[in-house]
Structure 1
Amino acid sequence: MTDQHRVDTLGAYGNNQARTPHLDELAATGTRFDRWYTPTAICTPARASLLTGQAPFRHKVLANHERNVGYQEDLPDGTFTFPMALRERGYNVGLIGKWHAGTVKAPADYGFDGPHLPGWHNPVEHEDYLAYLKEHDLPPYEITDRIRGTLPNGGPGNLLAARLKQPVEATFEHYMATRTIEMLRRYASDGKPFYLATHFFGPHLPYIVPDSYFDMVDPAAVELPKSIAETFEGKPPVQRNYSAHWTFDTMPIEVTRKLIAVYWGYVTLIDQQIGRILGELDALGLTDATSVFFTCDHGEFTGSHRLHDKGPAMYEDIYRTPGIIRTPGAPPQVRDEFVSLLDCTATILDLAQVDHAEAVDSRSLVPLIKGENPAWQPDIVGEFHGHHFPYPQRMLREDRYKLVVNPDSTNELYDLANDPDELLNVYRHPEMEPVRGRMMRRLYSLLKERDDRFYHWMTSMYDIGEVDHDPTQSGLDEASYR
């Protein structure tokens, strides 16, 4: 699992400049999902959803604690999680890398072996990493060539990238792969079935990589995203504010090209570490008996829509992500069903022959991986609850159109067939009324079915068709709502 990873950085997803041979090989020998979405484009809620198989509105861990806006920060005691279910079934369960699924509770609280590596970025002062550097006589963390813009108040912007003055062997990514290989060998010798995860902190910004990756891609060869032409006209004002927060307009366009180039280099660094882990799986003779998943928590803007990072904008750049699963005996294939990071939970449990009924918002992807064609939902819902400040949103993505409901301002509707870069909000266009109305009613019914209480706002504010309940929730009205 990676963090903040754009789907278009991989050769398997169409980037002809990508240098991702190991992930491309995994995709070529497994199932590549072309419509794999995150339930929410922010780290902690997405990771809590993976743990539980519950949508964020249900598990209620809704924000990263570093920018928390008053939400719950840890899962309540007794919450169902897949690692504990695997433990109870006799599995070894390990996690190397980024946790970020809670504040007080650590991976060990959910049954994971491995060092607790907290936070949202590489914890380069962690005692286990420092011990690794000392053990291998490697130099400490040091950076130069920082890239950042200027904030609206005149202060220095967030660090976006820097040159790492360490050899590859000293990088946090190499360290995590090494620790994974060590644990893989222990698990292999133990003889018990196992689940082992490597959660890289990258390619989340700031992109901090050694020279060979910082300079790997020529910025002149980078094709800028078409949505860099974003004007924010007809869009929720928060998007323009986020662009200012991420200092996009304070940096020359050449800097944006360089940032994208360094980001691609970061992806290659991670791909090579994944290659080391998969190579060890081969060396141990476990490849033909082991299912391998690759995905991330959410995407990244890297200049798309004049934005960086992620935030209150439900664009494909941050909601559609890579998703690859290779299981023994399953055919290589590409699937176009709408699936989710959430579905990993039930899939992992299904492969382990463990009941997944308590992963209530998760669907097993095993039938799809086997090449079957079961009945499948033709659309997918996304949600967002805030980052830096509360900002609730809901999204319905179907084959051609995307609807985003923003209670504080204008709603959004995009025709992805004619506008794949989501530059033109057609929500108010008169000719789109049939699409807008149909999608609003469909989103309402899905949210109500899940008991996502966001639907209450929609009941009074939009055309959602006839209701079969008292929308005031007073219990005092005898009128029929049929």
Structure 2
Amino acid sequence: MDTRPNVLLLVTDQERYDLSTPDGPDVRTTGYDRLQAEGMRFERAYTPISICTSARASLLTGLYPHNHGMLNNCHGNEAVLRNLPERFPTFARRLQADGYETSYVGKWHVGRDQRPEHFGFDQYQGTDSNVLDDTLRAYHRSFGIDSDEIELEDESYTDHPDDPDLVSATLPIPIEATRTYYYTELTIDRLRRYANDANDGTPFLHRLDYPGPHHPYVVPEPYASMYDPVEIEPWSSYSETFDGKPRIHELQLANRGDRSFDWDDWAPIVSKYFGYVSLIADQVDRLLAALDELGLTENTVVVHTSDHGDFTGSHRQFNKGPLMYEETYHLPLVVRWPDVVEPGSVCTEFVRLHDLMPMILDIAGLDAPSGIDGRSIRPLLEGSTPADWPQRVFAEYHGDEFGFYSQRMLANHRFKYVHNAFDIDELYDHDADPHELRNLIDHPEYESVRHSLQEALLEEMGRTHDPFLEWTEKALR
């Protein structure tokens, strides 16, 4: 009988790190709290890039974006690649070939013309966007709801005069009729099938990708009014002045459509974001209860993470990128592995989203493919830190809807350095300035720190075969 662990991978879209931490805002995160109490929480998990398609491709392949080629989102006219090249190994394809049953529910967003079935998942149910697809329409009808008759309430929009984007709203339907609940139901149904097939000894990999808490932050009651905007204090970084920062930081207010927003505008939006996180965390709690009920808990590794974070008003910004702040690069990551991970443990080592690809293979007893950038974090899960574990993290950005703006980032336990190819660089001292408000790039007392981080950045670019190394070296040396 195959006794290898099952894997349940839970990926959210654009979830901030700080909302589910003990010292973060007072947000109800029931399912996340249980996972942390029974698993390991990672304090320094980072995405390799703060944009959906690129980060998701990295999670799937274990590669940095500059190595898998999906440099920006695949759906727009500006997409560098429409689809992820199928030549790259993926964790799902490897597990599928080694006898795992594999399935996927929810958001995909890795390619226009491909779906999870192209990369190793036997079954897929979901969609790439917030568009009402036929399956969700049918689900709504089971509640007596006509999808086309749903009228949002309490809406907030960006300040683009000709084409404002929806930012947040109240969804006037039952919790049970939402897409978030529906995807949870599909996953629980899949878990039931696996439990019924458990006697044949086949392990499973199931991935659930929630479309939230990505904007628009549209949630039903009681989540829509769970957090009083009046009681939500401005983020510490909301006092951003853009003094000494790259010009794109202030231009983003116009690009994203929040130039006219003050905190009275942001507070009700943030309250909906908080509500969205609570809605998803409650669904995770339902999933954990289902694992208990079905007798799957003890042999199932549960992983929760996100593709990247969200500004939600931090630094006065909406959405994400091209700004390499902690709010969008720092990730939530929790792993529960009964009898292996110490319950309630916290890891302070640097890990990356693309480290999960080799980790999942490692859990299944499989070697990682040669040439990937990720490294299995299994030793950390088992309570040991290899002597050569990296004490820094490297990340990148290649532009988005507003044109290319090449960036590279190198951070250690105290400092962060950002190289902006077309503007001034950034240097932040997280001990003195945890909210990254003061750019120290030209401060004479930090000259040696700057040079050290620049050299470390170039080392990482060389080690990972970054094609921009040649030009970055000329700029920094």
Shorter-chain TM range is over 0.9
- Cα distance in 2 between the residues matched to 1:69 and 1:32: 37
Distance 2:231 2:458 in 1: 44
The alignment partner of 2:447 has SS state of helix
Q: Residue 288 of structure 1 aligns with which residue?
A: 298
Give per-residue Cα distances to partners, 1:246-297, cap 9 Å, x unaligned.
2323234212111111100110111111111111110011101110000000
Q: What residue number does 2:51 align with?
A: 42
CA distance in 2, matches of 1:319, 1:402: 12
> Is the Cα–Cα contact under 8 Å of residues 95 and 197 in structure 1 kept in the other structure?
yes
CA deviation map 1:398-444 (0-9, x unaligned): 01100000010101000111011101100011111100001101110
| Distance in 1, Cα, partners of 2:472 & 2:456 | 12
Deviation by residue 1:137-182 (Cα, 9 ceiling, x = unmatched): 445343122101312xx32432110111111011000000000011
Q: Distance in 2 between matches of 1:115 and 1:448?
A: 38
Aligned to 2:264: 254
Inter-partner Cα distance in structure 2 for 1:54 and 1:104: 21
Equivalent residue for 1:455, pick from 461, 464, 469: 469
- Aligned positions of 1:435-474 closer than 5 A: 435-463=449-477
Moved over 4 A (4+): none
Question: Does 66-75 or 92-101 show the bigger shift?
Answer: 66-75
SS of structure 1 residue aligned to 2:12: coil
State the shift of 1:28 in Å. 1.3
Partner SS, residue 170 of structure 2: strand
CA distance in 2, matches of 1:202, 1:245: 22
Tell me the distance in 2 between the aligned counterparts of 1:178 and 1:139. 20
Gaps of 5+ in 2: 1-10
- Shift of the 48–232 alpha-carbon distance from structure 1 to 2, 3 Å rule, reads same
> What do you get for the CA RMSD once the two structures are aligned?
1.4
The question of whether the paired residues in 2 share the 8 Å contact of 1:47 and 1:101 is answered with: yes
- Give the alignment partner of residue 211 of structure 1, picking from 221, 225, 236: 221
Indicate whether 1:133 and 2:140 are aligned: yes
Separation in 1 of the partners of 2:380 and 2:400?
Answer: 34
Deviation at 1:73, TM superposition (A): 2.3
Helix, strand or coil at the partner of 1:433? helix
Q: Give the CA deviation at 1:70.
A: 4.3
Paired AA for residue 251 in structure 1:
F
Q: 8 Å contact 2:106–2:126 — kept in the other structure?
A: yes
Report the counterpart of residue 326 of structure 1 in structure 2: 336
Q: 2:405 aligns with which of 370, 386, 391?
A: 391
CA distance in structure 1 between the partners assigned to 2:280 and 2:44 by the alignment:
23
Query: How far apart, CA to CA, are the structure 2 residues paired with 1:13 and 1:38?
Result: 21
Q: CA deviation at 1:8?
A: 1.5
Kindly tell me the number of residue pairs found equivalent between the two proteins: 458
Letter aligned with residue 367 of structure 2: D
**Structure 1, unpaired ranges of 5+:** 464-482
Give the aligned residue type for 2:356.
C
Q: TM-score, normalised by structure 2?
A: 0.93
Tell me the SS of whatever aligns to 1:260: helix
- Larger relative CO (CA 8 A, sep 6+): 1 or 2? 2
- Could you tell me how far apart the structure 1 residues matched to 2:336 and 2:263 are? 39
Match of 2:393 in 1: 380
SS for the counterpart of 1:386 is coil
| 1:168 equivalent in structure 2 | 175
Given that 2:417 and 2:450 are in contact with CA atoms closer than 8 Å, whether structure 1 keeps it comes out as yes
**TM-score normalized with structure 1 length:** 0.92
For 1:472, the equivalent position in structure 2 comes to: none
Tell me which of 122, 134, 143 is aligned to 2:130.
122
Deviation at 1:78, TM superposition (A): 2.3
Q: Could you say which structure has the higher strand fraction?
A: 2
Match of 2:233 in 1: 223
Residue of structure 2 aligned with 1:196, choices 197, 202, 206: 206
Query: Which residue of the partner structure matches residue 355 of structure 2?
Result: 343
Q: Is the contact between residue 42 and residue 310 of structure 1 (CA under 8 Å) also seen in structure 2?
A: yes
| Counterpart position of 2:369 | 357
Cα distance, 1:24 vs structure 2: 0.8
Between the aligned residues of both structures, percent identity stands at 40
